[in-house]
């Protein structure tokens, strides 16, 4: 997997940056710098291609996930992060997942598959179009969600499903609503405020 690692400060938390469809491992670096410039950065490029665009897992169409591939890729990405944690000497509990769109979706998958591993996530424009059956205890997990009103890709009912997914598992939850399928400055600033408080 293509990736970048930027160490700012030894033993600082690590942002794991997960881009949207068509993005690269550097897409969310400026967002990470805004959220906390002292945190280390691991940006990972999705290794699935869709019409020449990078993604983290296959799909059959907009909002129609290949669930088998999602499960496989979720494990693969998790193992890659664990491998990098050993290589760069950081702890998994110090990881903050930061995702946009497709990156948010694989982040949710990893959190469901590895409920003990991730404690913080800032997810922008997420979509997880299924009711997850396992009721993990997320009471020690803090999540920031940026959701879109009038999002052409994620219907509002699906944004509410993502809220419920975390709420039903007892996660600490902060939500902000923005316009469309986007990551505007206002959402980034709210995420920065959230991160400073958790």
End-to-end CA distance of the chain: 30
Among 19, 85, 151, 159, the one annotated catalytic: 151
Torsion of CA 135, 136, 139, 144, to 10 degrees: -90
Give the chain's mean pLDDT: 96
**Does residue 164 carry a catalytic annotation?**
no
Domains along the sequence of the chain with CATH? 3-197 (3.40.50.1820)
Among 104, 146, 159, 181, the one annotated catalytic: 181
Phi, psi of 158 (to 5 degrees): -75, -35
Which secondary structure element, helix H or strand E, spans residue 8, and what is its range?
A: none
Among 19, 85, 101, 142, the one annotated catalytic: 101
Mean pLDDT value across residues 20-25: 98
| Model confidence pLDDT, tens digit, residues 87-106 | 999 999 999 999 999 999 99
- Give the pLDDT of residue 1: 94
CA angle 122, 128, 133 (to 5 degrees): 110
Confidence of residue 135 (pLDDT cuts 50, 70, 90): confident
- Give the pLDDT of residue 128: 96
**Does residue 157 carry a catalytic annotation?**
no
Half-sphere exposure of 57 (CA within 13 A, CB side): 28
pTM for this entry: 0.97
**Does residue 139 carry a catalytic annotation?**
no
In angstroms, rounded to a whole number, what is the distance separating the alpha carbons of residues 197 and 1?
A: 33
User: Is pLDDT of 36 > 90?
Assistant: yes
| Model confidence pLDDT, tens digit, residues 155-190 | 999 999 999 999 999 999 999 999 999 999 999 999
């Amino acid at each position: 997997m293509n990736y970048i690692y930027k160490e700012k400060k030894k033993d600082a938390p690590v942002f794991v940056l997960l881009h949207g469809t068509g993005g690269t491992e550097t897409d969310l670096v400026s967002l990470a710098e805004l959220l906390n410039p002292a945190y280390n950065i691991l940006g990972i490029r999705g290794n699935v291609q869709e019409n020449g665009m990078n993604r983290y897992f296959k799909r059959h169409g907009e909002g129609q996930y290949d669930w088998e591939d999602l499960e496989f890729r979720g494990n693969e990405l998790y193992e890659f992060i664990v491998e990098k944690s050993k290589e760069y000497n950081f702890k998994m509990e110090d990881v903050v997942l930061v995702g946009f769109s497709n990156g948010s979706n694989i982040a949710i998958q990893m959190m469901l598959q590895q409920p003990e591993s991730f404690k913080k996530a800032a997810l922008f424009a997420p979509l997880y179009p299924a009711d997850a059956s396992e009721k993990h205890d997320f009471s020690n997990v803090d999540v920031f969600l940026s959701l879109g009103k009038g999002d052409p890709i994620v219907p509002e009912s699906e944004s509410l499903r993502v809220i419920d997914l975390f709420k039903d598992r007892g996660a600490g939850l902060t939500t902000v609503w923005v316009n469309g399928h986007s990551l505007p400055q206002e959402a980034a600033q709210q995420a920065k405020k959230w991160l400073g408080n958790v």
